[in-house]
C-alpha cells in the first residue's frame, strides 16, 4: 500500500480545531459539536468556502486529544476519533462501538491504494496514469460491515436502501425513464446515512462540489467508497442515538427547510403546453366547476416571449396583469417558470445588461460563453457572483409586481442542447475565478438563492421557489421536484423511496410530478398516484407537451371523484402537514418519512419501499401496482387504527387490506391527536377559525401551531402554540403555550377507534 501521508508526528489544538501532522502532510479535525467531527485536507484550494454550510457551525464543545499508542485520539461526549499513520481514521461512538472505519485492504479495481491523493503521488514523481480509469483526486474507502444499510443521497433513483448501488454526483438532466441503475439525477446531495446491524446510526456529508462517486458495496461488499475528481477533502462525520439524530445533525450543519406559506401546501396543476391565457383560464374554470380544490397553476415556458426570461408573450397570454387578476380572483396563485439561459439578442434588455456588466460565464478565451437552450443561443448567468445574484433577484420584480405566487426554476443543472458546458468555462465563486467543473453542481443552488432573495425582498412573504437542480443545503431557499418522471407504474413505485430519501437529506419540501411527466397517464395510474402523493409536500400534477391531458376532470366521473376525495383529504390534513413543517424547521425532520426512521430496530422496515409515515402518526400504504386491489400492509410496533373503518390492529405484523381503486390504506397510531381543517376550494377561501382534532385511543399529547400562513410575523411572536392532551377516553385538555395570534373559535374532537 502506498504511504502518502506518512507517519503520525503529532498534533496541535486551537479552539475547536486539531491540526494533525504526518510526515508529508497535515490534516485538520474540527469538533463541530458533540456529535459532529469535520475532517479537512485542503488538497485543492484553502479559499473554497462551503456552499452548503454558510455559518461557522462550531459550538464550544468539550473534547480531549491524546496520544494513545499508535493513535491520536479525539474524544467528545458522543464520538471518538482514532487517527493512525498514513491518515487512517476510525470513528467510534461513546460506547466504544466502531461505526465507520477506514478500509485496511486494497480496492479490487485498478486503484491500488486505500487512500490516495493523486496530486501528492504526482508530486512524488509517480506515474499516476495506471492507477485510475477516470481522473480521481482522492478517495475515501471505508469498511462495509455486514448488516450496514444506507439511506440519503437526495433524489437518486431506485430504492430506499442504497446498499449495493453506486451513484455519481453530477447534476444531470437525462431524458430516458429514470431506472434504478441511474447513477446521477438532477441534484447532488452527498449526504449518506448508515444504519448498522444493531441500529447504531451515523452520517457522513462529503462537502465537495466537484463530480464525485459514491459506491456502496457495488464494487466489492467489503468496502464502500467516495471518490472525486477534484476539490478539497472535506467531510463531516456525525452520529447520535438514532437516524433521527443524524438527520438533526445534518440539518444543523446545512440548514432546515423553512416554514412555507400555507397555500403552497395546497393542490397545484401544471402542464408544459398551456399555450395561452385561454388555456390557463379553461383549466382554472374546470377545477372550480368540478369542485376540486386548487391553489396554484403553473405557467411553463410558453408564457414568455420567445422563451426570453422576464418577458411576457402578449400575443397568446394577453396583458399579464389581466390573466393574473382573473385567476387570483378565483383564488388561484400563478407560479412562473424561469430558466437560467438568457437569449442572445441585441436589444433584449436582460441580455444587454448581462453582457455589459460581465454577468455571464465566459469561455476560456474570455468570450461570453454561448450554448443553446429553449430560446436558442443563450448566455449563462454567473450566479456565483453576489452582484449577479442581486441582479437576477431584482429582475423578478416584473413578476412580483404582478402578484406572482412563486417561481419555478428549471434547466439549472445547467442543461444545454449543444452538449454539456465544457469543464473550463469560466465561472466565479464570489471573487474567486473558477470553472464549470467546480460550479456545475451548485449552479442551481446559487440560482435559487437569488430567486429566494428576490421574492423575499419584493413580497415580504416566505418565498415559494421550486427547483430541479440543487446541492446540499439548498433546502434553505427552495423546494424541489424530482424532474421528468414518466407515467409508468415503476415511477409511481419510486415516489416513496425518492421522496423519503430527499426528506432525510434535508429537503422536507419535495414532490414528484403527479401522474407522471412523460408518457400517457391511465385513469387507474392517476388515481393511485394521487393517493400515494397525498402527503407529498409539493402536491402538483404536471405533464409534458404532447402527452395525454392529465387534469383529473379530463377523465371519467370515477376518476374525478377519486381525485377529489384525496385532494379534499389533503386539505383536511393541511394543519397537520403545516405543523410538521413548523416542527421540522427546528428538528430537520421531513414530512414524508420511511418507517426505518422511527423504527430502526425493526428489520422488516429497512427495505420497505412501499409504505411511509406522514410525521409519526399516520401510516400510508398506497397501492402501487396496476390491477391490484388488495394490499399487504406492514404495521410497525404499537397499536394502529384503520383510518377508514376504525378497526384496531396490533403492530409488528402484516395485514391484508382490501384496497379497491378508491381506497388508499391509511392507519393512525394509538394516542394520536391530528388537527384537521374544513375542506375549502383554496387556502384563504374562508378563515380557518375552527380546528377539529382526530383522536385515537390512548393518552396523547400534541403541539399545534397557528399563524397567518404567509410572512415572517411568526418570528416576532405573532402565532399561537396549542398544547393538546387527551386521556385514555379521548377527553381533551388544551393549554396555550404561546398566544400571539387570534385563537380558534372552536376546537372539537372526532374520535376514531373508540
Give the shortest CB-479-to-ligand MIG separation in angstroms. Answer: 14
- How far, in Å, CA of 410 to CA of 337, rounded? 7
- How far, in Å, CA of 120 to CA of 500, rounded? 40
Give the shortest CB-378-to-ligand MIG separation in angstroms. Answer: 13
Give the shortest CB-512-to-ligand MIG separation in angstroms. Answer: 11
Residue closer to ligand MIG (CB basis): 247 or 421? 421
CA atoms 296, 297, 300, 304: torsion sign: negative
- How far, in Å, CA of 148 to CA of 625, rounded? 29
Residue closer to ligand MIG (CB basis): 11 or 307? 307
Cβ-proximal residue to ligand MIG, closest one: 272
Residue closer to ligand MIG (CB basis): 160 or 304? 304
The Cβ of residue 643 has, within 10 Å, a number of other Cβ atoms equal to: 22
Q: Got the DSSP string for 330-384? A: TT-EEEEEE-S-EE--TT-HHHHHHHHTT-B-B-TTSSBP-EEETTEEEE-B-TT
Give the shortest CB-302-to-ligand MIG separation in angstroms. Answer: 8
Residue closer to ligand MIG (CB basis): 547 or 617? 547
Residue closer to ligand MIG (CB basis): 4 or 498? 498
Give the shortest CB-151-to-ligand MIG separation in angstroms. Answer: 25
Q: Got the DSSP string for 242-272? A: SHHHHHHHHHHHH-PPPPPPGGGGS-EE--T
What is the total residue count of the chain?
754
Residue closer to ligand MIG (CB basis): 331 or 483? 483
Residue closer to ligand MIG (CB basis): 382 or 484? 484
Give the shortest CB-187-to-ligand MIG separation in angstroms. Answer: 13
CB 533 within 8 A of CB 570: no
* Residue of 413, 429, 513, 642 marked active site: 413
- How far, in Å, CA of 588 to CA of 505, rounded? 9
- How far, in Å, CA of 445 to CA of 535, rounded? 25
The Cβ of residue 432 has, within 10 Å, a number of other Cβ atoms equal to: 13
Give the per-residue SS3 of 650-665: ECCEEEEEECCCCCCC
Residue closer to ligand MIG (CB basis): 542 or 583? 542
Give the shortest CB-468-to-ligand MIG separation in angstroms. Answer: 6
Residue closer to ligand MIG (CB basis): 52 or 466? 466
Residue closer to ligand MIG (CB basis): 336 or 350? 336
Give the shortest CB-301-to-ligand MIG separation in angstroms. Answer: 4
Radius of gyration of the chain (CA): 26
SS3 helix, strand, coil % of the chain, rounded to 5? 25, 30, 45
> Residues 389, 709, 672, CA angle at the centre, nearest 5°?
125
Give the residues lining the site for ligand MIG (CB under 6 A).
272, 300-301, 337, 410-411, 468, 483-484, 517, 542
Dihedrals φ, ψ of 391, to 5°?
-60, -45
Task: Give CA separation, 537 vs 300, 464, 573, 574, in Å.
Answer: 21, 12, 12, 10
For residue 400, cis peptide bond before it (omega within 30 degrees of 0): no
Catalytic residue at 325? Answer: no
CB 550 within 8 A of CB 522: no
Task: Give CA separation, 185 vs 136, 170, 270, 318, 418, in Å.
Answer: 21, 7, 22, 36, 19
Give the shortest CB-502-to-ligand MIG separation in angstroms. Answer: 16
Q: Which residues pair with 435 in a beta bridge?
A: 426
* Residue of 111, 339, 382, 410 marked active site: 410
- How far, in Å, CA of 633 to CA of 636, rounded? 10
Residue closer to ligand MIG (CB basis): 334 or 638? 334
Give the shortest CB-542-to-ligand MIG separation in angstroms. Answer: 6
Q: Which residues pair with 704 in a beta bridge?
A: 722
Task: Give CA separation, 482 vs 164, 315, 502, in Å.
Answer: 22, 32, 9
CB 335 within 8 A of CB 344: no
* Residue of 148, 230, 484, 579 marked active site: 484
Give the shortest CB-412-to-ligand MIG separation in angstroms. Answer: 10
Catalytic residue at 484? Answer: yes
By CB neighbour count within 10 A (0-12 exposed, 13-18 middle, 19+ buried), where does 728 fall?
exposed
Residues assigned a catalytic role: 410, 413, 484
Amino acid at each position: 500500500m502506498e504511504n502518502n501521508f506518512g507517519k503520525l508526528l503529532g498534533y496541535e489544538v486551537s479552539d475547536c480545531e486539531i491540526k494533525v501532522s504526518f510526515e508529508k502532510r497535515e490534516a485538520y479535525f474540527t469538533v463541530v459539536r458533540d456529535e459532529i467531527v469535520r475532517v479537512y485536507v485542503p488538497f485543492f484550494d484553502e479559499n473554497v468556502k462551503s456552499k452548503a454550510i454558510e455559518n461557522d457551525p462550531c459550538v464550544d464543545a468539550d473534547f480531549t486529544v491524546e496520544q494513545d499508542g499508535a493513535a491520536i485520539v479525539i474524544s467528545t461526549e458522543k464520538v471518538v476519533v482514532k487517527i493512525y499513520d498514513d491518515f487512517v481514521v476510525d470513528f467510534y461512538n461513546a460506547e466504544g462501538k466502531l461505526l465507520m472505519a477506514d478500509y485496511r485492504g486494497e480496492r479490487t479495481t485498478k486503484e491500488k491504494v486505500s487512500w490516495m491523493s493523486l496530486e501528492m503521488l504526482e508530486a512524488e514523481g509517480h506515474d499516476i496514469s495506471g492507477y485510475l480509469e477516470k481522473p480521481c483526486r482522492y478517495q475515501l474507502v471505508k469498511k462495509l460491515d455486514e448488516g450496514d444499510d444506507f439511506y440519503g443521497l437526495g433524489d437518486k433513483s431506485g430504492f430506499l436502501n442504497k446498499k449495493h448501488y453506486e451513484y455519481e454526483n453530477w447534476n444531470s438532466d437525462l431524458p430516458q425513464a429514470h431506472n434504478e441503475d441511474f447513477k446521477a439525477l438532477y441534484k447532488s446531495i452527498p449526504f449518506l446515512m448508515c444504519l448498522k446491524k444493531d441500529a447504531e446510526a451515523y452520517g457522513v456529508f462529503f462537502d465537495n462540489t466537484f463530480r464525485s462517486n459514491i459506491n456502496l458495496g457495488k464494487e466489492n461488499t467489503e468496502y464502500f467508497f467516495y471518490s472525486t475528481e477534484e476539490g478539497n477533502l472535506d467531510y463531516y462525520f456525525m452520529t447520535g442515538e438514532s437516524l433521527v439524530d443524524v438527520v438533526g445533525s445534518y440539518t444543523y450543519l446545512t440548514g432546515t427547510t423553512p416554514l412555507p406559506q400555507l397555500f403552497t401546501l395546497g393542490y397545484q396543476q401544471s402542464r408544459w403546453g398551456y399555450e395561452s391565457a385561454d388555456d390557463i383560464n379553461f383549466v382554472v374554470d374546470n377545477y372550480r366547476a368540478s369542485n376540486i380544490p386548487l391553489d396554484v397553476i403553473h405557467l411553463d415556458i410558453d408564457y414568455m416571449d420567445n422563451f426570453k426570461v422576464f418577458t411576457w408573450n402578449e400575443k397568446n397570454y394577453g396583458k399579464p396583469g389581466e390573466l393574473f387578476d382573473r385567476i387570483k380572483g378565483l383564488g388561484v396563485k400563478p407560479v412562473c417558470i424561469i430558466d437560467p439561459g438568457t437569449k442572445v439578442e441585441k436589444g433584449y434588455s436582460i441580455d444587454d445588461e448581462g453582457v455589459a456588466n460581465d454577468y455571464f460565464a465566459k469561455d476560456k478565451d474570455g468570450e461570453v460563453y454561448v450554448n443553446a437552450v429553449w430560446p436558442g443561443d443563450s448566455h449563462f448567468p454567473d450566479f456565483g457572483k453576489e452582484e449577479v445574484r442581486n441582479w437576477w433577484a431584482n429582475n423578478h420584480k416584473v413578476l412580483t409586481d404582478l402578484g406572482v405566487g412563486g417561481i419555478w426554476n428549471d434547466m439549472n443543472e445547467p442543461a444545454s442542447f449543444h452538449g454539456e458546458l465544457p469543464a473550463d468555462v469560466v465561472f466565479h465563486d464570489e471573487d474567486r475565478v473558477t470553472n464549470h467543473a467546480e460550479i456545475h453542481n451548485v449552479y442551481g443552488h446559487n440560482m435559487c438563492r437569488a430567486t429566494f432573495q428576490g421574492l423575499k425582498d419584493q413580497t415580504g412573504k416566505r418565498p415559494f421557489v421550486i427547483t430541479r437542480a440543487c446541492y446540499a443545503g439548498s433546502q434553505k431557499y427552495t423546494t424541489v421536484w424530482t424532474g421528468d418522471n414518466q407515467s409508468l407504474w415503476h415511477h409511481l413505485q419510486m415516489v416513496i423511496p425518492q421522496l423519503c430519501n430527499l426528506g432525510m437529506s434535508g429537503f422536507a419540501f419535495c414532490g414528484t410530478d403527479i401522474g407522471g411527466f412523460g408518457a400517457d397517464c391511465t385513469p387507474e395510474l392517476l388515481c393511485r398516484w394521487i393517493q400515494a402523493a397525498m402527503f407529498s409536500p409539493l402536491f402538483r400534477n404536471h405533464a409534458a407537451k404532447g402527452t395525454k391531458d392529465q387534469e383529473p376532470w379530463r377523465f371519467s366521473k370515477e376518476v374525478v371523484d377519486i381525485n377529489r376525495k384525496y385532494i379534499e383529504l389533503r386539505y383536511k390534513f393541511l394543519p397537520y402537514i403545516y405543523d410538521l413543517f413548523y416542527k421540522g424547521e427546528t428538528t430537520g425532520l421531513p414530512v414524508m418519512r420511511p418507517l426505518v426512521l422511527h423504527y430502526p430496530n425493526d428489520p422488516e422496515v429497512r427495505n420497505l419501499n412501499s409504505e411511509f409515515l406522514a410525521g409519526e402518526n399516520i401510516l400510508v400504504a398506497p397501492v402501487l401496482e396496476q390491477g391490484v386491489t388488495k394490499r399487504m400492509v406492514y404495521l410497525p410496533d404499537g397499536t394502529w387504527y384503520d383510518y377508514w373503518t376504525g378497526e384496531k390492529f396490533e403492530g409488528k405484523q402484516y395485514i391484508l387490506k382490501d384496497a379497491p381503486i378508491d381506497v388508499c390504506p391509511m392507519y393512525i397510531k394509538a394516542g394520536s391527536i391530528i388537527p384537521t381543517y374544513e375542506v375549502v376550494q383554496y387556502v384563504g377561501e374562508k378563515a380557518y377559525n375552527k380546528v377539529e382534532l382526530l383522536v385515537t385511543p390512548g393518552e396523547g399529547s400534541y403541539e399545534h401551531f397557528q399563524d397567518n400562513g404567509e410572512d415572517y410575523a411568526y418570528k416576532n411572536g405573532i402565532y399561537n402554540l396549542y398544547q393538546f392532551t387527551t386521556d385514555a377516553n379521548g377527553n381533551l385538555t388544551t393549554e396555550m403555550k404561546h398566544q400571539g395570534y387570534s385563537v380558534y373559535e372552536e376546537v372539537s374532537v372526532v374520535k376514531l377507534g373508540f
